[in-house]
Amino acid sequence: MTLPQPAVLLAARVTVIGLAGLTLLELLWETVLAPQPGGGMWLALKVVPLALLIPGAARGRRRPRQWLSLLLPLYFAEALTRAASESGRHAVVAAMAAAIAAAAFIALLAWFRAERAAEPANERPRS
């Protein structure tokens, strides 16, 4: 087994840090920073899928990262929609969540790309 390339390590670190940051921000968003009026704290449950994927992504496993590539655009879209439709601190927190989700998604794609470039051509799966 060869050591990972620096590009792979950097993309992996940025992805995992972004994922953890997004999970924490989403949880704080719905509970402390800008909770929805009328008891909307149940929206904090939206962090469960992200929290479940953190250990697998941190270990570098492919399947959790594939799930992240499907989920992160949804979190980005939700945050962008709420940033545009709400005002005050709700919009600020939503914009921060959108920025973190976009950064984590871009880093995830860079991780896949760097990993693919680092593996020998004869070990790549045929598609």
- Is 107 a member of any domain? yes
- Is 124 a member of any domain? no
Please write the tens of the pLDDT for every residue from 95-106. Answer: 999 999 999 999
- Is 126 a member of any domain? no
Give how many domains the chain has, as a whole number: 1
Residue found by looking up tokens 């492919």 in the block: 62
**Domain residues for 15?**
7-34+44-119
- Is 52 a member of any domain? yes
- Is 50 a member of any domain? yes
Q: Render 29-96 in DSSP notation, one character per residue.
A: IIIIISPPTTTGGGGGGGGHHHHHHHHHHHTT-HHHHHHHHHHHHHHHHHHHHHHHH--THHHHHHHH
Please write the tens of the pLDDT for every residue from 21-66. Answer: 999 999 998 888 887 777 777 888 899 999 999 999 999 999 999 9
What is the pTM assigned to this prediction?
A: 0.86
